[in-house]
A and B are shown apart, each in its own frame.
Chain A
Amino acid sequence: MNTATLFFQRKARLIETMSAAGLDVMLVYGNAWQNDYLRYATDFGILEGQALALVRNDGHVTLYLDSLLEVDRAGVDCADVDIVHAPNLVAEVDTALNRFRNQRIGAAPYRLLPRRLAQRAKDLPLSDQTWVLDRLLMVKLESEIAAVRRASQLADDGYAVFRQAARVGRKDYELIAEVEAFYRAKGVEDNFQIIGAGGPDVRGMAPPSGKRLKPGDLVTTELTPCVDGYYAQICRTLAVGTPSAEQKATHALWREAMEAGIAVVRDGVAAADIARAENDVFRRHGLGNYVTSEYTRVRGHGLGLFVDTKPHILEDVATRIDAGMTLIVHPNTYHPVVGYLVLGDMVVVGKDGCEVLTATPRELFSVDA
């Protein structure tokens, strides 16, 4: 299925939801950091600058872009969308909103909406309707899930390239360079990837800093390729040289935690249930401290048109998990002896369980020292 067909299916769903919510127009904001809402509504994967889209309930979509280069790209990539170059983006859309003075305007994502436009709520029937798109982004069509499956396959393939590239003396950014070249050749337009390399000094992953791999290092990475607009992620750890007994034992614990979380995933549970299942494994092993926000951000999250979407898998998140969601379950956190470890698999939520998409073995890999 091509991306245009996927987009038309999404747009139909959005229009239907807008109508049910009594909305005449959606005002959608996007930039490369937070792209999912915009991509859902326009099929544009913005890279530079900022964008705003007006989606009417008759299906007409206008995409305003402040970057000339992005106007060119959108002209090629976006089907059935009116594209407007708006160098003074906020001012021009502010003016455009006046045409909808007597119509109900929903805005998403509201917290990122430019201040000047949010303030139009004082004189226009404009309100925060982020939930409209949140719901659509979380529970996916079959065609969207198929795209996530393709992305997950490429996550596995990308990790194989990463492992092949990891050698003593190589710099961390050189490994990512190999993965990116592989992905461009394979039609993967984008990838989110962070990395960690070292021992107990490493508290998390980040962009590469120029570290050279050395014997004894644990090298952690999450890579998140994008296929047809949809992201999937894999988290894996490898040891440089033969893993120590502590590294193996720690990885085994991480695997137990991840599998405990995956075992819980099904339609009707809460995000908190998945997180608790993972964290209870740590607590049973006396590592309850390391599942707090001091050491870890989330125990998993949704993925789709963005690398990190709702629901966040945390013990204080009550969001219902529904069939059709695509998640990663990852008990990534710090261990006081060996350092930071990651392990994460993609799943599709089903009625009675989940389908695991990630095919890469759940082992602590090693490369020659």
Chain B
Amino acid sequence: MRRGLMAWNKDELPIGTLDERIARLRARMSEAGLDAFVVYTNFVRPSAVSYLTGFTPYWSDGILLVRASGDPVFATALSKRVANWIRTTSPVAEIVNAPRPGAALGARLAADSGVQRVGVLELDALPAGIHDDLVGAAPAVELIDASAQFADIRRGIDRAERDLLLRADALATAALGQVNVAKAGDAGTVAGLVEKRARLDGAEEAQIAVAADFDRDRRMIRATGAVPLADRFALRASVAYKGSWVRRSRTFARDVAGAQAVARADAWFGPVLRSIEAGKPLAAQLAAQVGSLAGAELTRWMAESCVGSYPLQVIAAATVPAGEGPADGAYLVLTVELSVDGVPWIGAAPAIVGGHSETVRATA
């Protein structure tokens, strides 16, 4: 769902930027011998279509067709009644409202004799109903998984995306800044305050997770209602602004020893983000960095990025090793869990690899 601000702003996301992204996709299509490209979307898997068109569905699903030339075509089960709304959030693409979007786009593919090989983002995960309708309407077309081609165009971020991410991060940071450690009572009230701040500032969506007793259980859940907060607790704010998602996690401690350990770890984390190097495995980089923080042991970590249809997905983690390190200029969200002098700590923040000036600052 999306319960926050959804609207296209031409200064934030110029049509020229969307045209350039489509052009890069078309270049990859040409290299791979693809005559067309199909991308599925719903509000859980919105980011690929959002990247190409600015559109995120708040409900239902749809598929985008990009051919070698001409306007992209977006077919959705959302009814014609919401066509105007779609247009307010997405300035590009022909919109086709159809109860069976797969059949609608399949018919377009079948009608174009020049289309034989069609790349599909995340083909294995394409919903069976959409797939069967597409294939039923265009049986002669060969569908090929083209997730690698799409990931290629997502390697770097352009200025528009950078600015949207910076805005999302500002919202998340300000939202977590609402927490008054001394007065924070229960998880639900605190989560509500944090979420409210993000939404009042114009977040498209805000999901707040809480570990109410961070010493006892580090897992973050949607703790709502009167769950009491212990002396040490942690919050995670996952915030979207105009289709761009960030995460920020912070640890809070009311006891002196805890507060000191948290402050040290917070101060350590910002430079860690700024120093992430391209091409080197993150596990090794982190191990070296943790070594520089006295009394720290690394518990868990993960790095997420937007490489396909998910807003954020793990690209490397302690339990999911990645081969090479991140690319220069890549966007990622780094989450690190430590034990600092026996005090549990978590931090999460976005970063752009390579120490670019645009790198967001971690909360100290």
Q: Within residues 180 to 209 of chain A, which ones have a CB less than 8 A from any CB in chain B?
A: 180-194, 203-204, 206-209
Alpha-carbon gap, A69 to B310, bound state (A)? 14
Asked whether, in the complex, the Cβ of B81 is within 8 Å of the Cβ of A297, the reply is: yes
Alpha-carbon gap, A49 to B311, bound state (A)? 9
A sample of 10 cross-chain residue pairs with beta-carbon separation below 8 angstroms, ordered by A number, consists of A33-B59, A47-B222, A72-B219, A73-B209, A75-B219, A76-B219, A118-B132, A177-B4, A182-B192, A209-B88
Asked whether, in the complex, the Cβ of B127 is within 8 Å of the Cβ of A115, the reply is: yes
Q: 0/1 per residue, A275-305, Cβ < 8 Å to B?
A: 0000000000000000001111100000000
B76 nearest CB across to chain A (Å)? 13
Kindly state whether residue B224 has any CB partner on chain A within 8 Å: yes
Alpha-carbon gap, A209 to B6, bound state (A)? 5
- Additional A-B contacts beyond A66-B313, A190-B222, A204-B82 (16; CB < 8 A): A48-B310, A68-B302, A72-B219, A73-B209, A73-B219, A73-B220, A77-B221, A115-B124, A115-B127, A119-B128, A173-B4, A174-B200, A185-B225, A189-B224, A210-B202, A293-B80
Chain A interface: which of B28-36, B273-281, B314-322? B314-322
Q: 0/1 per residue, B120-134, Cβ < 8 Å to A?
A: 000111111111100
- On whether A187 and B189 interact (CB within 8 A), knowing A49-B310, A50-B44, A210-B7, the answer reads no
Alpha-carbon gap, A76 to B84, bound state (A)? 42
User: Which A residue sits closest to B218, measured CB to CB?
Assistant: A72
Alpha-carbon gap, A112 to B126, bound state (A)? 8
Kindly state whether residue B199 has any CB partner on chain A within 8 Å: yes
User: Which B residue sits closest to A203, measured CB to CB?
Assistant: B81
Q: Within residues 215 to 234 of chain B, which ones have a CB less than 8 A from any CB in chain A?
A: 217, 219-222, 224-226
A contact residues around B206 at 8 Å (CB): 180
Asked whether, in the complex, the Cβ of B188 is within 8 Å of the Cβ of A186, the reply is: yes
What is the interface residue range for chain A against chain B? 35 or more
Q: Within residues 62 to 112 of chain A, which ones have a CB less than 8 A from any CB in chain B?
A: 66-69, 72-73, 75-77, 85, 87, 89-91, 110-112
A contact residues around B4 at 8 Å (CB): 173, 176-177, 207-208
A contact residues around B131 at 8 Å (CB): 115, 118
Alpha-carbon gap, A176 to B201, bound state (A)? 12
A contact residues around B312 at 8 Å (CB): 48
Question: Quick one: which of B43, B126, B128, B220 contacts A33, CB cutoff 8 A?
Answer: B43
Q: 0/1 per residue, B1-20, Cβ < 8 Å to A?
A: 11111110000000000000
* Closest 10 pairs (CB-CB, A-B): A187-B225, A111-B129, A184-B192, A177-B199, A118-B128, A181-B196, A181-B192, A72-B219, A116-B124, A115-B131
Asked whether, in the complex, the Cβ of A184 is within 8 Å of the Cβ of B3, the reply is: no
User: Which A residue sits closest to B127, measured CB to CB?
Assistant: A112
Alpha-carbon gap, A303 to B240, bound state (A)? 27
Kindly state whether residue A31 has any CB partner on chain B within 8 Å: yes
B66 nearest CB across to chain A (Å)? 20
Residue among A89, A173, A294 having the largest count of chain B Cβ atoms under 10 Å: A173
Contacts from B to A (Cβ < 8 Å): 1-7, 42-45, 58-61, 79-82, 84-85, 88, 123-132, 186, 188-189, 191-193, 195-196, 199-200, 202, 204, 206-209, 217, 219-222, 224-226, 238, 302, 310, 312-314, 317, 319-320
Asked whether, in the complex, the Cβ of A31 is within 8 Å of the Cβ of B42, the reply is: yes
A contact residues around B302 at 8 Å (CB): 68
- On whether A90 and B124 interact (CB within 8 A), knowing A32-B43, A68-B314, the answer reads yes
User: Which A residue sits closest to B208, measured CB to CB?
Assistant: A184
Question: Quick one: which of B124, B193, B222 contacts A91, CB cutoff 8 A?
Answer: B124
A contact residues around B88 at 8 Å (CB): 209
Asked whether, in the complex, the Cβ of B319 is within 8 Å of the Cβ of A85, the reply is: yes
User: Which B residue sits closest to A85, measured CB to CB?
Assistant: B319
Q: Within residues 145 to 185 of chain A, which ones have a CB less than 8 A from any CB in chain B?
A: 173-174, 176-178, 180-185
Asked whether, in the complex, the Cβ of B44 is within 8 Å of the Cβ of A90, the reply is: no
User: Which A residue sits closest to B88, measured CB to CB?
Assistant: A209
At the interface, is chain A mostly helix, strand, loop or mixed?
mixed
Kindly state whether residue A113 has any CB partner on chain B within 8 Å: yes
Asked whether, in the complex, the Cβ of B85 is within 8 Å of the Cβ of A204, the reply is: yes
User: Which A residue sits closest to B80, measured CB to CB?
Assistant: A294
User: Which A residue sits closest to B199, measured CB to CB?
Assistant: A177
Alpha-carbon gap, A50 to B355, bound state (A)? 33
Question: Quick one: which of A67, A117, A189 contacts B222, CB cutoff 8 A?
Answer: A189
B358 nearest CB across to chain A (Å)? 26
Q: Within residues 22 to 64 of chain A, which ones have a CB less than 8 A from any CB in chain B?
A: 31-33, 45, 47-50
Kindly state whether residue A125 has any CB partner on chain B within 8 Å: no
Asked whether, in the complex, the Cβ of A113 is within 8 Å of the Cβ of B188, the reply is: no
Asked whether, in the complex, the Cβ of B219 is within 8 Å of the Cβ of A87, the reply is: no
Question: Quick one: which of A32, A192, A294 contacts B81, CB cutoff 8 A?
Answer: A294
Alpha-carbon gap, A351 to B82, bound state (A)? 37
Kindly state whether residue A114 has any CB partner on chain B within 8 Å: yes
B contact residues around A117 at 8 Å (CB): 128
Asked whether, in the complex, the Cβ of B319 is within 8 Å of the Cβ of A90, the reply is: no
User: Which A residue sits closest to B236, measured CB to CB?
Assistant: A69
Alpha-carbon gap, A203 to B88, bound state (A)? 13
B contact residues around A176 at 8 Å (CB): 3-4, 199
A279 nearest CB across to chain B (Å)? 16
B41 nearest CB across to chain A (Å)? 10
B82 nearest CB across to chain A (Å)? 6
Question: Quick one: which of B5, B60, B196, B225 contacts A209, CB cutoff 8 A?
Answer: B5
Alpha-carbon gap, A302 to B224, bound state (A)? 26
Asked whether, in the complex, the Cβ of A206 is within 8 Å of the Cβ of B317, the reply is: no
Alpha-carbon gap, A110 to B208, bound state (A)? 31
A contact residues around B125 at 8 Å (CB): 50, 89-90, 114-116
Alpha-carbon gap, A315 to B324, bound state (A)? 58
Alpha-carbon gap, A209 to B207, bound state (A)? 19
B17 nearest CB across to chain A (Å)? 21
- On whether A87 and B320 interact (CB within 8 A), knowing A32-B1, A68-B314, A295-B81, the answer reads yes
Residue among B132, B208, B222, B312 having the largest count of chain A Cβ atoms under 10 Å: B222
Asked whether, in the complex, the Cβ of A111 is within 8 Å of the Cβ of B128, the reply is: yes
- On whether A184 and B189 interact (CB within 8 A), knowing A33-B42, A111-B128, A189-B224, the answer reads yes
A contact residues around B45 at 8 Å (CB): 31, 50
B322 nearest CB across to chain A (Å)? 11
